[in-house]
Amino acid sequence: MDIWQQLFEPSVFSPHGYCYLWNRPLVWLHALSDGLIALSYYSIPLVLIVLVRKRSDLPFGGVFLLFGAFIVSCGTTHVLEIWTLWHADYWLSGLAKAVTALISLYTALTLWPLLPQVLALPSAAELEAANRSLQREIAERERSERALADGEARLRLALSAAQAGGWEWDLSSGRLAHSPDAESNLGLPSNSLGDSREAFLAQVDPEDRPGVAQALAGAALGNACDVEYRLVAADGARHWLASKGRVIPDPTGGSSRVVGITLDISDRKHAEEERERLQRERAARLDAEEANRAKDEFLAILSHELRTPLNPIIGWTQILRRGGLAPDKQQVALEVIERNAKLQNQLISDLLEVNRIEQGKFHCTLQRTDLVSVVNAAIEAVYSLVESAGITLHTRLPDTPVWIWADPTRMQQVVWNLLTNATKFTPTGGQMDVTLDYREKRVMLSVKDTGAGITPEFLPHVFERFRQADSTTTRKQGGLGMGLFIVRHIVELHGGTVRAESAGVGRGAAFTVDLPVQIQDLEA
At 7 the pLDDT is 52
Q: Count the helices and strands in the chain (H runs, E runs).
A: 15, 12
If asked whether residues 391 and 413 sit together in one domain, one would say yes
Q: Is residue 94 included in any domain, yes or no?
A: yes
Q: Mean pLDDT highest for which of 13-22, 153-162, 495-504, 515-524?
A: 495-504
Distances (CA, A) of 473 to 82, 290, 511: 150, 20, 19
> 401 and 485: one domain?
yes
Number of separate domains in the chain: 4
Percent of the chain with pLDDT over 90: 13
Mean pLDDT of the chain: 79
Confidence (pLDDT) at 370: 93
Please name the helix (run of DSSP H) or strand (run of DSSP E) that holds residue 260, with its range, or none. strand 257-264
DSSP state of 196: B
* Nearest Cα to Cα of residue 370 among 329, 328, 350, 398: 398
Q: Model confidence over 450-465: pLDDT tens digits?
A: 998 999 998 888 888 7
Concatenating the DSSP letter of every residue in 349-376 gives HHHHHHHHHHTT------EEEEHHHHHH
Segments forming the whole domain that contains residue 194? 162-264
Confidence of residue 227 (pLDDT cuts 50, 70, 90): confident
376 has a pLDDT exceeding 50: yes
What's the CA gap between 348 and 152, in Å, rounded? 80
pLDDT-derived band of residue 468, with 50, 70 and 90 as boundaries?
A: low
pLDDT at 427 (0 to 100): 92
Please, which pLDDT band fits residue 155 given cuts at 50, 70 and 90? low
Whether residues 280 and 382 share a domain: the answer is no
Q: Residue 157: inside a domain, yes or no?
A: no
Neighbouring residues of 105: CB distance < 8 A, sequence distance ≥ 6: none
What percent of the chain has a predicted confidence (pLDDT) above 70? 77
pLDDT in tens, 417-432: 899 889 989 999 999 9
Give the separation between CA 11 and CA 395, rounded to whole angstroms: 166
For residue 406, give the nearest of 360, 437, 434, 375 by alpha carbon: 375
- Confidence grade of residue 523 (pLDDT, cut at 50, 70, 90): very low
Residue (of 167, 195, 14, 153) closest to 89 by Cα position: 14
**Mean pLDDT across 358-373:** 81
- Residue 266 has phi, psi (to 5 degrees) of -60, -45
Q: 44 vs 38, 68, 405, CA distance in Å?
A: 10, 7, 126
Residues 330 and 290 in one domain: yes
Q: What is the pLDDT of residues 303-314, one digit of tens each?
A: 655 666 677 778
Within-domain flag for 282: yes
Q: Which long-range contacts (CB under 8 A, 24 or more apart) does 268-271 make?
A: 268/240, 269/228, 269/240, 270/240
Number of neighbours of residue 363 by Cβ within 10 angstroms: 10
pLDDT of residue 297: 65
CATH of the domain at 311: 1.10.287
Q: Are residues 171 and 63 in the same domain?
A: no
pLDDT at 2 over 70: no
List, in order, residues 6 or more apart from 366 with CB less than 8 Å away: 405, 406, 407, 494
Q: Rounded to whole angstroms, how far apart are CA atoms 119 and 273? A: 80
Among 4-13, 46-55, 250-259, 324-333, the minimum mean pLDDT is found in: 4-13
Mean pLDDT of 431-459: 91
Helices (H), 401-510: 408-424, 471-477, 483-493
Model confidence pLDDT, tens digit, residues 489-500: 889 988 999 999
Q: Which of 86, 120, 154 is the last residue of a domain?
A: 120
* Contacts for 405 with CB less than 8 Å, ≥ 6 apart: 366, 367, 368, 369, 518, 520, 521
Residue 425 located in a structural domain: yes
- What is the C-alpha to C-alpha distance for residues 270 and 16, in angstroms, rounded to an integer? 116
Q: Domain boundary at 264, 298, 314, which?
A: 264
* Poorest-pLDDT segment among 120-124, 168-172, 330-334: 120-124
In a domain, 394, yes or no: yes
Asked if residue 353 belongs to a domain, the reply is no
Instruction: Using DSSP bridges, classify how beta strands 257-264 and 367-370 pair: parallel, antiparallel or unpaired.
Output: unpaired
pLDDT range class, residue 69, cuts 50, 70, 90: confident
Domain shared by 177 and 242, yes or no: yes
| pLDDT band, residue 522 (cuts 50/70/90) | very low
User: Is 80 exceeded by the pLDDT of residue 466?
Assistant: no
Write out pLDDT tens, residues 395-417: 999 999 999 999 898 888 899 88
User: Both 321 and 418 in a single domain?
Assistant: no
Q: Is the domain of 258 the same as that of 280? A: no
Backbone angles phi, psi at 481, to 5 degrees: 75, 30
Is the C-alpha dihedral spanning 36, 42, 48, 51 positive or negative?
A: negative
Across residues 160-173, what is the average pLDDT?
A: 69
Q: How far apart are CA 258 and CA 216, in angstroms?
A: 9
> Residue 176: is it exposed, middle or buried by C-beta count within 10 angstroms (0-12/13-18/19+)?
buried
Enumerate residues 6+ apart whose C-beta is below 8 A from 355.
none
pLDDT in tens, 86-101: 888 888 888 888 888 8
| Secondary structure (3-state) at 226 | strand
Q: Is the pLDDT of residue 393 over 90?
A: yes
pLDDT at residue 511 greater than cutoff 70:
yes
Domain-terminating residue out of 232, 264, 296: 264
Q: Both 474 and 407 in a single domain?
A: yes
CATH number at residue 216: 3.30.450.20
* Prediction pTM value: 0.44
521 band by pLDDT with thresholds 50, 70 and 90: very low
> Quick check: 149 pLDDT over 80?
no
CB 51 within 8 A of CB 24: no
- The H-or-E segment that residue 460 falls in is none
Question: Are both 223 and 279 inside the same structural domain?
Answer: no
- In a domain? residue 140: no
Residues 58 and 111 in one domain: yes
Closest to 247 measured CA to CA, from 170, 186, 188, 141: 170
Q: What is the CATH number of the domain that holds 395?
A: 3.30.565.10
**Inter-residue contact 344 to 306 (CB < 8 Å):** yes
**What mean pLDDT is predicted for residues 46-61?**
74
Q: Do residue 70 and residue 108 come from a single domain?
A: yes
The DSSP output letter for 123 is P
C-alpha to C-alpha distance for 131 and 120, rounded to whole angstroms? 17
CA distance 404 to 417: 20
Domain annotation covers residue 479: yes
pLDDT in tens, 172-206: 777 877 776 666 666 666 666 677 778 778 888 88
